[in-house]
Structure 1
Amino acid sequence: MTETAFRLDNAWHPVEADAGGAFVFTLTNLSEEPVEGFKLAYTSLTRVKDAPACENAQFLMRNANFHQFAPPQSFVLQPGASWRFTVQGLWRPARHRTDGAKSAYLTLASGQHVAVDVDDLLLEGRFSEPAPVLLPEGKVTEPFSLLPWPAQAVLTPGDSVPVTLCPADGTALADLQAMQQVNGLYRRLFAVAHIPFSLSPTAQGKALQFAANPALGASAYRIDFAANIALSYGDAAGRQYGLTALAQMLHGARTAPAQFRFPAAGHIEDAPRYGWRGCHLDVSRQFYPTDDVIRLIDILAWLKLNIFHWHLTDDEAWRLEIKAYPQLTTVGVLRGPDEPMLPQLGNGAEPVGGFYSQDDVHKIVAHAASLQIEVVPEIDIPGHSTAILTALPDLVDGQEAPDSYRSVQGFPNNALNPAIERTYEFLGTVFDEMATLFPSPLVHVGGDEVAANTWMASPLAKRLMEEQGLDGTFGLQSHFMKRIQQMLKARGKTVAGWDEVSHGGGVDPEGTLLMAWQKPEVGLDLARQGYDVVMTPGQAYYLDMVQDEAWQEPGASWAGTVPPHHTYTYEAVADFPEDLRPRMRGVQTCIWSEHFLNRAYFNHLVFPRLPAVAEAAWTPKDNKDWLRFAALAPLMPRL
């Protein structure tokens, strides 16, 4: 049979007295052979309950986002014919075309797995409105291409554009190297464009003078425009940001001369609004090759973001090579019909894997550092650990019922057990290797979404609770996290985590950085408890969220609808009183990858909202301008 021998159409329709509605599936046999005794599996974020009501089908199983059904007994699917069945009993209604099946395959009576073509979810029973235009045409009042917009810019547009900018006589080696670094960045992002800097004098070029001025402060710079250009900088980061600003203005003036000019006179005086300007990438749900990660880091540098939060592990896969535990990146990354972990989120008949070798990590970390970007690694514990427990089954309490709790995503028994001493031995070894790979003082340890009844059926956990006087799941989690904090401290590292690290008594707030993701008010509460906070609320900064309520707009919707205008205008520090504002370290956007099955989906959902967060992180509130941003955002590079 060919790979296109079967097609699965899926639709959602509302059901009276059932808010979840129902799925209608239609499997069409495009082959020339009849099939019988088969099973149909599909993956979907719109999960069914354990006992869904099925019409014309048998429900076989669900594991998180994996679902499997069979037709009625003795059913034969003839060539050109279809099998149509309905499933009612969904945990939530479908709201967008990406809420249906993301992949599907058949398991034939012989045991062979055959790919099934599947596409967007259709809507039955009401009008499927088209997606709107998300970004207005835009308008600039000052004709300069700068994103993020600087703290201060007093500029006079020129009538010509320099061919290149060239170093003045006597320029120091470090300044020349910085020019070449930004040249390289520009060439990677805009492969056919003319480089901004030449290292030798050029006709119709302008001389660029450098001056270190520590009094400007960290990451700060000043550019003065006249017959020549003078760049003063507070440190190496400030020098890079100044050069990037010059490269952006040249790029805009060359590529969109009807809108943008290069300055002939005036000055820019600039420094970031926040010290933490982050972007997170989930590589567990979907694997991104090393070159794609490097490309994203280049885009962050172009936008003057300075933190790359690398979400390396989750239930679906462990992506970081740990030499002491090779099974993490053999067993712990493989998903497929006959693999230890079932297909999830776009996986089909063929097994999938992928991980980052330690050589890959060294390459990525060094590349980021050359662009003034800190890589903060995350291993998500104690929850979100299905991949770990699959690879290392000796970390499971064998007396605990195998399906005694489920995560919010539906994974059974997916948390490392705080009562098993081997857990800490394993993590200690992991931290030892991570310490050699990541110079960042921070290790992000997740801590999110531990189900409320986790470990309550574990005799070992119950004994630990009695011995230590711990109260339920979150008391156990706090006990676990406090041990992790001490283990990291012994290795010269400090804890970063999601806001749930504060649950059950939390950890020592001193030096701990927590990310407020569930809702904005959580960040203020964490600051009151003494934690340093990065604001990353799903309602504004999660780039997997849909950008409009229209059915045809792709993405997730659990945190609501997040249009680019809201992402741009959201003020993360708004509710913080003056005395707590020092604890608000900055902002971060998160790219969760459940919906990113291809590059087109990635670019549609991430842009222009990633540049919007970059400007929110850098530009003072009073200097933001939505229409100017809308005019500038299309010039930004994409993956």
Structure 2
Amino acid sequence: MADYHLEASWSPIEGSFGRLTFTLFNLSAEPLSTFLLAYTSETRVADKHVCDGGSLKRRVAHFHEFLPPEDLSVPPGGRWRFTVEGLTKEPKHATSGVKSAYLTLGDGRHVPVGFGDLMLEGRNGGVAPPLLPPGRAEEPYSLLPWPLALGLKAGELPVILYPAERMRPDAVKALSLVLALYQRLYPADNVPFSLSAVEGGRAIRFVTESSIAAFAYELRFTAHEIVLSSADVAGRQYGLISLAQLLHGARADRERFKFPNFGTIADQPRYDWRGCHLDVSRQFYPVADVVRLIDILAWNKLNIFHWHLTDDEAWRLEIKAYPALTEIGARRGPDEVLVPQLGDGAQTRSGHYTQEDARRIVAHAASLYIEVVPEIDIPGHSMATLFSLPELVDGQEAPDSYRSVQGYPNNALNPAVEFTYEFLGKVFDEMVALFPGEYLHIGGDEVAHGSWLSSPLCKALMEREKLAGTAELQSYFLKRIKAMLSERGRKLAGWNEVSHGGGVDRDGTLLMAWEKPAVGIELAQEGYDVVMTPGQAYYLDMAQAEAWAEPGAAWAGYAPPEHTYAYEAEGELPEALQDKMRGIQACIWTENFISRAYFNRLVFPRLPAVAEAAWTPSVRKDWDRFAAIVRMWPVL
């Protein structure tokens, strides 16, 4: 238990974003004096603010450091209270308050401070509502995502499923891989498959059928066997996962779910790109967590793992040419170059993936027919990079001449510093050796308005190349980046802002529309291939209800699981542009994900909801059926 505890409350004030009240309790046996209070919070104090009872010493993005009044001494059992009016936004949820806190004492030691939710003053915040109804399955089969077509008759539950006699070794190995997947996801449950015949079980016969579409499969249930037909190995895996799901549900909830004795399933994915993104910069997830998430993606028949490896808060991938990227850029703490951010307290936190880690994750994903799309976020969101390699900075650029939406000063790689391209060339060389997929994601989002305009080098570049403003500078930069990727046999993927300022060559470029659905339509009209990932439905860090007590972010509103499930990302996309829409993707941004419980509450069941939207035609979706099935599905 910490010797100190910080409480925070928010009260609305007309004409402003309200007032925060902080109370620090001294629970120790000694008086507290000569100290600094540091905390992290997504509700940031603005440059122009009024503080009563203390003073803001510094703020870096979500990190705040406050000074108490001079000569303040807080006795044992006493408290220090101060208020701040002048915030960058209005908090919407109880989790919008303190995410971590510590004291720096007079002798330089950093000691942890406990904290609670952000309390709401002046009105009742209500309670978090239930997010899932009990659910109802008209057809008693636990399949998620739901298949394209099925006509089944339920029957006796088999003890287990096993390969028929004289099956090819590759088919038996495929069954063993899905068996291992099931064992990792449900380690306490009875397995669905055996590699040899078992009394009371059902045999699976594998058939290769060239007339079946790519990634599709068919299942035919007869009195004696199950026939799994597919044209390719991915379709075969999806069929095996469906069989494992059917048996799992029939065992887990025998009243609602059954196993079929007769009939057929014909199934294929709706979209080619069925993705999930994970931000490992804000919060680090060890290899075991990443591997388990990939297993969950496979269980839900998703096929893209978008790995967000760098951001302002950290650089997480080992680059042998530049070890400082992880020696400096993967560490945050009170005495580190990078100050604490959301969730970081008195102790340094660090973490990165070695190149061997990356190879292991890529190989694991490939075994489950999932492609890893790595992202290094450039030119913006590069604070960790710039602190790690100061030679990337134009030394004549005025400090704090622009700030990102998250509050980071001068956080973008400079397009006029030629070393930028030498640096990125070496990074790309190492990345293409690690990631064999078609795309390398380069971010391209949220470059602050006014970026680089105080850089003498950029002013000269703008004059020489006849560029106007930040957007055209970014376009110049990204065109060079796209050429560098093309030289290395990779295509460019990025966020929708890549199109700004003239964008890049549309051929071989994939953009992700995150700001709002209309942006995706505009990108398709401009000729870009598009993945829809709108924050209003598919950003899994958004709160799931409007209630103050419901955790989550709020910039895109709130997204209940039913909304995420029902959402149709194609929206008003004209039929003539349908071929430009590659698919959809869920995004897990982790600024606020400071615990495993928080992760699971926000991500599930919305991740399986996106998975069903990516696989199942809209006319085949059913919210009540989904709600009945998804409660049996695995979480991290």
User: The residue matched to 1:120 in structure 2 has which SS?
Assistant: strand
Residue matched to 2:409: 412
Residue matched to 1:558: 555
Asked whether the 8 Å contact 1:52–1:59 carries over to 2, the reply is no
Amino acid across the alignment from 2:562:
H
CA distance in 1, matches of 2:579, 2:53: 60
User: For each residue in 1:83-123, what CA deviation from the matched residue of structure 2 results, as whole angstroms up to 9, or x when unmatched?
Assistant: 01101101111110110010111111121111111121111
1:139 and 2:136 are equivalent in the alignment: yes
User: The residue matched to 1:121 in structure 2 has which SS?
Assistant: strand
User: For each residue in 1:203-243, what CA deviation from the matched residue of structure 2 results, as whole angstroms up to 9, or x when unmatched?
Assistant: 00111100011221111000000121100012111000000
Amino acid across the alignment from 2:389:
L
1:186 and 2:185 are equivalent in the alignment: no
Asked whether the 8 Å contact 2:311–2:384 carries over to 1, the reply is yes
CA distance in 2, matches of 1:129, 1:35: 36
Residue matched to 2:447: 450
1:167 and 2:163 are equivalent in the alignment: yes
CA distance in 2, matches of 1:101, 1:148: 38
**Cα drift, residue 51 of structure 1:** 2.9
CA distance in 2, matches of 1:472, 1:36: 49
Of 60, 65, 71, which residue of structure 1 is paired with 2:62? 65
Of 194, 206, 210, which residue of structure 2 is paired with 1:210? 206
Amino acid across the alignment from 1:570:
Y
Of 12, 27, 32, which residue of structure 2 is paired with 1:30? 27
Amino acid across the alignment from 1:12:
W
**Cα drift, residue 163 of structure 1:** 1.1
CA distance in 2, matches of 1:452, 1:403: 13
1:534 and 2:531 are equivalent in the alignment: yes
**Cα drift, residue 574 of structure 1:** 2.6
Question: Residues 241-260 of structure 1: matches in 2 within 5 Å?
Answer: 241-260=238-257
CA distance in 1, matches of 2:197, 2:562: 43
Question: Residues 287-436 of structure 1: matches in 2 within 5 Å?
Answer: 287-436=284-433
User: The residue matched to 1:332 in structure 2 has which SS?
Assistant: coil
- Give the RMSD, CA atoms, in angstroms: 0.7
**Cα drift, residue 573 of structure 1:** 1.1
Amino acid across the alignment from 2:2:
T
Residue matched to 1:576: 573
Question: Residues 115-130 of structure 1: matches in 2 within 5 Å?
Answer: 115-130=112-127
Q: Compare 304-313 and 87-96 and name the one that shifted more.
A: 87-96
Residue matched to 2:588: 591
**Cα drift, residue 571 of structure 1:** 0.6
User: For each residue in 1:520-547, what CA deviation from the matched residue of structure 2 results, as whole angstroms up to 9, or x when unmatched?
Assistant: 0000000000000000000010000000
CA distance in 1, matches of 2:442, 2:25: 45
Identity rate of aligned residues, in percent? 61
**Cα drift, residue 316 of structure 1:** 0.1
User: The residue matched to 1:425 in structure 2 has which SS?
Assistant: helix
**Cα drift, residue 161 of structure 1:** 1.1
Amino acid across the alignment from 1:181:
L
1:625 and 2:626 are equivalent in the alignment: no
User: The residue matched to 2:631 in structure 1 has which SS?
Assistant: helix
Amino acid across the alignment from 1:628:
R
Asked whether the 8 Å contact 1:331–1:390 carries over to 2, the reply is yes
Residue matched to 1:220: 216
User: The residue matched to 1:73 in structure 2 has which SS?
Assistant: coil
Residue matched to 1:496: 493
Residue matched to 1:150: 147
Of 607, 610, 614, which residue of structure 1 is paired with 2:611? 614
CA distance in 2, matches of 1:138, 1:157: 20
**Cα drift, residue 17 of structure 1:** 2.7
Residue matched to 2:14: 16
Amino acid across the alignment from 1:633:
V
1:264 and 2:257 are equivalent in the alignment: no
TM-score, normalisation: structure 2: 0.99
Of 225, 228, 232, which residue of structure 1 is paired with 2:229? 232
1:111 and 2:108 are equivalent in the alignment: yes
Residue matched to 1:6: 4
Residue matched to 1:523: 520
Amino acid across the alignment from 1:266:
G
Residue matched to 1:47: 44
User: The residue matched to 2:550 in structure 1 has which SS?
Assistant: coil
CA distance in 2, matches of 1:175, 1:316: 45
Asked whether the 8 Å contact 1:276–1:307 carries over to 2, the reply is yes
User: For each residue in 1:482-522, what CA deviation from the matched residue of structure 2 results, as whole angstroms up to 9, or x when unmatched?
Assistant: 00000000000010000000000000000100000000000
Of 448, 461, 464, which residue of structure 1 is paired with 2:461? 464
User: The residue matched to 1:305 in structure 2 has which SS?
Assistant: coil
**Cα drift, residue 627 of structure 1:** 0.4
CA distance in 2, matches of 1:469, 1:195: 65
CA distance in 1, matches of 2:32, 2:633: 50
CA distance in 1, matches of 2:48, 2:98: 19
CA distance in 1, matches of 2:376, 2:365: 19
Asked whether the 8 Å contact 1:474–1:504 carries over to 2, the reply is yes
Asked whether the 8 Å contact 2:8–2:22 carries over to 1, the reply is yes
CA distance in 1, matches of 2:510, 2:90: 35
**Cα drift, residue 16 of structure 1:** 2.8
Of 469, 474, 478, which residue of structure 1 is paired with 2:471? 474
Amino acid across the alignment from 1:14:
P
CA distance in 2, matches of 1:30, 1:54: 24
Number of aligned residue pairs: give it: 635
Q: Which stretches of structure 1, 4 residues or more, deviate above 4 A after TM superposition? A: none
Amino acid across the alignment from 1:443:
L
User: For each residue in 1:575-622, what CA deviation from the matched residue of structure 2 results, as whole angstroms up to 9, or x when unmatched?
Assistant: 111110000000000000011101000000000000100000000111
Please, which runs of 5 or more residues in structure 1 have no aligned partner? none
Residue matched to 1:195: 191
CA distance in 2, matches of 1:334, 1:511: 35
Please, which runs of 5 or more residues in structure 2 have no aligned partner? none
**Cα drift, residue 22 of structure 1:** 0.8
CA distance in 1, matches of 2:71, 2:175: 71
Asked whether the 8 Å contact 1:328–1:391 carries over to 2, the reply is yes
Asked whether the 8 Å contact 2:148–2:268 carries over to 1, the reply is yes
User: The residue matched to 1:426 in structure 2 has which SS?
Assistant: helix
CA distance in 2, matches of 1:401, 1:391: 19
CA distance in 1, matches of 2:30, 2:152: 72
CA distance in 2, matches of 1:275, 1:26: 52
TM-score, normalisation: structure 1: 0.99
CA distance in 2, matches of 1:92, 1:179: 52
CA distance in 2, matches of 1:10, 1:214: 63
Amino acid across the alignment from 2:514:
W
Amino acid across the alignment from 1:501:
V
Of 79, 83, 87, which residue of structure 1 is paired with 2:80? 83
Amino acid across the alignment from 1:186:
Y
